[in-house]
Amino acid sequence: MEIIDISVDRFTYLSNQVSDSEGHGHPGEEHEATQTLTRIITDEGIEGYCFGGNPRVMEHIVKSAIVGEDPLYREKIWQRLNQWQRIHKSGLSDQEIAVVDMALWDLAGRCANQPVHKLLGAFRDKVPAYASSMCGDELEGGLNTPEAYGDFAQMNCERGYKAIKLHTWMPPIEWAPDPKMDVAACRAVRERVGDDIDLMLDSYHFYDRHEALFIGRELEKLNYLWIEEPMDEQSVSSYVWLTEQLDIPVVGPETAEGKHFTRAEWIKRNASDIIRGGVGDLGGITPLIKTAHLCESFGMRMEVHGGGPGNLHVLCAMGIAGLYYERGLLHPFIDYDKPPPWLHEIPDPLDSNGFVHVSQDPGLGLKINFDYIKKSKI
């Protein structure tokens, strides 16, 4: 089998989510937005799909790296794209490589008639999820006060979640960040949900060491499960400093460049207690499963960053190293369970006990609405 082409469909949809000036998502007025579907095409008529992908990057960089290759040579293709990043620094991001890698895993699953987690070597078919909130806002009835976080946490527990993660207030909100407000929100949630729910905090990501230490010590008193990315991850020494002093597990790196190589260095330096990474941060399923095995070898947990089918299939194949699936980002004004128009079903349905179930369909198991995409194509 040979890859003969890669194409990207760009299409429109109506969105009720907006990004603020710093890139954080929030609910907003309905407006027209665009999405893409990347498709890897073979000479045997089998295709692999992944949502996302920049049409120009796929056409001008990726195409020449993959056309003519056997699509089952995922490692070879991943290594080549990783090396090509050296020259194509601005275009070929880890996110673009992740899209190609996930489309190749999808294709392999469709060939073998097996879901991706079983190709990887399955461990389980469902994973407990935590409700991961959007960042704080100033919307009445939204996430504008510590009490509002408490209300939303209660709502999520009633929905079945056994764990909750807060993203608190960040710029461009004028008064944010504020360590005391973050702690107040964390306290309001703990008081509301009681002691049996696991709680985590992912706050502003650029606190200084002493602010991060203050928050961490307060979270210890509130029996939080972890503190995530409270400082700039480029300063590994700051994370070594923080991890040494706190009892609460410090989770990272999430957004730091460098794929599994960076995670190996963090492990060596004891810069965090729990390693982090998702398909988008690392460049696909191929490096994410390597990172999971790396962590297991050091007896460390790895908590997967972000949702979506790629992360879910890896979590179902990575044994005990990862506790939770990150479901979200959630907000009182957003109906996360409603599929977007390009899908017939969401890829991460939640049951009443707080578990997300992985698809048993071939590949990534996405229920793609090809008619909608064709109709809305730009």
CA distance 24 to 29: 15
Enumerate residues 177-236 that contact Mg ion by CB under 5 A. 202, 228
Structure tokens at 365: 């198991």
Q: Of all residues in this chain, which one has the CB nearest to ligand LLH in the complex?
A: 24
Question: For residue 77, which of 66, 61, 92, 93 has the smallest C-alpha distance?
Answer: 66
**Quick one: 26 or 74, whose CB is closer to ligand LLH?**
26
Using the rule CB under 6 A, which residue among 150, 249, 253, 306 binds ligand LLH?
A: 306
Distances, alpha carbon 162 to alpha carbons 91, 202, 285, 375, in Å: 40, 17, 27, 40
Give the distance, in angstroms, between the CA of residue 167 and the centroid of all CA atoms in the same chain. Answer: 14
Tell me the per-residue interface mask from 233 to 262 with Mg ion, x by CB under 5 A, - otherwise: ---------------------x--------
**Quick one: 205 or 357, whose CB is closer to ligand LLH?**
205
Rule CB under 6 A: is residue 167 a binding residue for ligand LLH? yes
Structure tokens at 250: 């410090």
Give how many residues touch Mg ion by CB under 5 A. Answer: 3
Distances, alpha carbon 232 to alpha carbons 111, 162, 259, 328, 342, in Å: 42, 29, 17, 23, 36
Report, in angstroms and rounded to the nearest whole number, the Rg of the chain calculated over CA atoms.
Answer: 20
Residue 146 interaction partner, one of Mg ion, ligand LLH, none, beta carbon < 5-8 Å per kind: none
* DSSP for residue 319: G
Rule CB under 6 A: is residue 39 a binding residue for ligand LLH? no
Q: Which residue has the tokens 């699936």?
A: 325
From the CB of residue 332, how many other CB atoms can be counted at a distance below 10 Å?
16
Rule CB under 6 A: is residue 301 a binding residue for ligand LLH? no
**Quick one: 108 or 304, whose CB is closer to Mg ion?**
304
**Quick one: 9 or 254, whose CB is closer to Mg ion?**
254
Tell me the per-residue interface mask from 258 to 297 with ligand LLH, x by CB under 6 A, - otherwise: ----------------------------------------
Residues that bind ligand LLH (CB under 6 A): 24, 135, 167, 202, 254, 305-306, 326
Residues that bind Mg ion (CB under 5 A): 202, 228, 254
